[in-house]
Amino acid sequence: MEQVAATDATAPASPLPGAPVIARIRRLIVVAGLAALVYTVFTRAGKSMCFSGADPDGSFIDASGSPIAPSCVGLTLSPGPLVYFAIVLIVIGALTRALRASGADSAIRPIDRAAAIIGIAAAASVVISQVWFGLIPLSEYGNGFLLFPFPFGGVEITVTPLETAM
């Protein structure tokens, strides 16, 4: 009697026509969702600085020595809506190209490329926005122009007077 090896690693083919394309579409949607989640979680940061000093009596003085309550500047980095919009456009574009394809292999190619592009774009957006945010010089606030990482993240600026702690 002949024995059949039970180590066949190939999955049984689905009877559904176009199953490989549908599986790649599912993978594209999962990659897009995970990329959006990673981008949302890791594009968060904050930093602040107070421009102040104190005289020997404990009163506030500003940088020029005037007895004025100094200001505190706070920056908060958050995800930018353009990255989410780009992810959606990449998914729609890939699905449109897959619909126009002549066969399953040519339909899978743009879907796979879109999944790779989405992952790379999300990772690059996180790195670019965090590095750019880290390089914003708070000490230059009010003396010039602050350039924010607009397409990759949104920055909220808050200016408040310094208050004494009691």
Assigned domain for 9 exists: no
The span from the CA of 106 to the CA of 71, in Å, is: 60
Query: Over the stretch 105-115, which tens digit does the pLDDT of each residue have?
Result: 899 999 999 99
Q: What pLDDT was estimated at residue 52?
A: 67
Mean pLDDT of 134-160: 77
Q: Name the percent of the chain lying above pLDDT 90.
A: 46
Assigned domain for 28 exists: yes
The span from the CA of 89 to the CA of 41, in Å, is: 21
Query: Over the stretch 57-92, which tens digit does the pLDDT of each residue have?
Result: 767 776 666 777 677 888 899 998 999 999 999 999
Q: What pLDDT was estimated at residue 45?
A: 93
pTM of the predicted model as reported, rounded to 2 decimal places: 0.76
Assigned domain for 131 exists: yes
In the beta sheet, which residues pair with residue 79? 153
Assigned domain for 91 exists: yes
Work out the angle between the directed axes of helices 19-42 and 81-99 (0-180°, nearest 10). 170
Domain span at 106 = 19-51+70-139+152-161
Assigned domain for 74 exists: yes
Mean pLDDT of 7-18: 60
Least confident of 8-17, 39-48, 50-59, 67-76: 8-17
Residue 42 has pLDDT above 60, yes or no: yes
- Using CB atoms within 10 A of its CB, is residue 114 exposed (0-12), middle (13-18) or buried (19+)? buried
Query: Over the stretch 95-105, which tens digit does the pLDDT of each residue have?
Result: 999 999 888 88
Assigned domain for 61 exists: no
Residue 1 has pLDDT above 60, yes or no: no
Q: What pLDDT was estimated at residue 37?
A: 97
Q: Both tokens of residue 4?
A: 């059949």
Assigned domain for 115 exists: yes
**How many structural domains are present in the chain?**
1
Q: Answer whether 156's CB lies under 8 Å from 75's CB.
A: yes
Assigned domain for 13 exists: no
Q: What pLDDT was estimated at residue 144?
A: 58
